[in-house]
Structure 1
Amino acid sequence: MTKRYAALLRGINVGGHKKVPMARLRTLLEGLGYDGVGTHLQSGNAAFTAGAADEDALAAAIGRAIEKEFGFAVDVLVRDGAYLKAVADACPFPAAELEPKQLHVTYFSAPVDPARFASVDRAEFLPEDFALGDRALYLYAPDGLGRSKLGEKLSRSALNRGMIATSRNWNTVTRLVEMTHD
């Protein structure tokens, strides 16, 4: 049995660092034996079909192949289409009423302990807000992520220590759901 997956690469093609051209990423994924490979934008989003497998094992294989091909390590998360759809469907904010730049999802490599974020004084950042989901954090930033003080606070390494975390705006969240739909 095969499944559709998305590979989320963290921190590539940002400011000219860790350049990974999407055409080469597609070729790399095909070389790993994955089918139906497609990419979205230049920020490290790829969808592919593979035999049902452990997501962490797929991520590790992709990470090793990227390091071998490009000469640098990249954090990779792999999630199947059903998970990506469940995250989008569980959004606690009114996504249909918001501009896509106002809503973001940070995907984590492990379940998120709410105690990690207990020190964040939510009232200090209003109207910005966040909510935790299954290995995900939803961020509502009405002025966009670039101006978000809450987003800056939430991205600090102390809150995310020991986990891979990578964020996507709502347009990309919904596009990944589309790309991984069976």
Structure 2
Amino acid sequence: MTRYVALLRGIMPSNPNMSNAKLRAVFEGLGFDGVVSVLTSGNIVFRSADTDVPALQERVQQALHRDLGIGGGTIIRSHQELRALLDTDPFPGLKHGRGTYLIATFLHSAPTEVTMPEQPDPRTRVVGYDQTARVFLAVVDNSDPGKTPDFMAWLDKTYGKDITTRTWLTVERIVKKLEG
């Protein structure tokens, strides 16, 4: 059995249909084992014998839409992919905080070509792109909470809406759950 996490896009914990209990029930209904949630922002850890990740993503997304009316998007990564990502230590010496908000933006599938922003956002330092985990890594200065960094808008424009961002702390928590 392979251990996975489903990173769900557009989850709002205040919506009763998006509660962790209902999300877990959908995964359990699909026959997955070891289903647990991480935080309340749409991170569901599970085990499956299925190794076809694109098919898993589609299957989960269809069930979420059918059972709960959730159409936001599903991105699945294996424990192995996320463990390897953490082991690269992409943010050496940095601590997650207001001026150094460490983020990982996961793409639904591997792009045919990876591009970086032409005009770097002064509030964002792009650390790089990890091809194996299909994720952009960046450090954002979000000390001005009223402004969204241009980098996030660039990601949406360049790679579409089939992306989702997690803090590095959340990625670390997910890996801990995958290993627990």
Give the TM-score category using the shorter length. 0.7 to 0.9
Query: Do the aligned partners of 1:7 and 1:79 also contact (CA within 8 Å) in 2?
Result: yes
Deviation of 1:17 after TM superposition, in Å, equals 6.1
**Runs of 4+ deviating beyond 4 Å:** 16-19, 144-148
The TM-score, its normalising length taken from structure 2, stands at 0.84
Aligned length: 173
Structure 2 residue matching 1:138: 3-state secondary structure = strand
Deviations 1:85-135 (A, max 9, x none): 1222234322x53126610000112224233x242x22x515x30121111
Query: Do the aligned partners of 2:117 and 2:154 also contact (CA within 8 Å) in 1?
Result: no
- 2:4 maps to amino acid: Y
Aligned to 1:125: 122
| Distance of 2:26 and 2:135 partners within structure 1 | 27
Structure 1 residue matching 2:138: 3-state secondary structure = strand
Deviation of 1:40 after TM superposition, in Å, equals 1.2
For structure 2, list consecutive stretches of 5 or more residues without a partner in the other structure. Answer: none
Aligned to 1:154: 154
Give runs of aligned pairs for residues 30-45 of structure 1, distance below 5 A.
30-45=28-43
User: Structure 1 residues 27 and 10 mapped into 2: Cα distance closer, same or farther (>3 Å)?
Assistant: same
Structure 1 residue matching 2:110: 3-state secondary structure = coil
Q: Are 2:114 and 1:114 aligned? A: yes
Identity %: 26
2:80 to 76, 82, 85: 82
Structure 1 residue matching 2:72: 3-state secondary structure = coil
Specify which structure has the higher proportion of helix: 1
- 2:23 maps to amino acid: L
- 1:37 maps to amino acid: V
Query: Do the aligned partners of 1:105 and 1:167 also contact (CA within 8 Å) in 2?
Result: yes
| Distance of 1:145 and 1:34 partners within structure 2 | 42
User: Structure 1 residues 145 and 5 mapped into 2: Cα distance closer, same or farther (>3 Å)?
Assistant: farther
- 2:27 maps to amino acid: L
For structure 1, list consecutive stretches of 5 or more residues without a partner in the other structure. Answer: none
Aligned to 1:54: 52
| RMSD across aligned positions (CA) | 2.4
Aligned to 2:10: 11
The TM-score, its normalising length taken from structure 1, stands at 0.83
Aligned to 1:65: 63
Structure 1 residue matching 2:48: 3-state secondary structure = strand
| Distance of 1:139 and 1:9 partners within structure 2 | 20
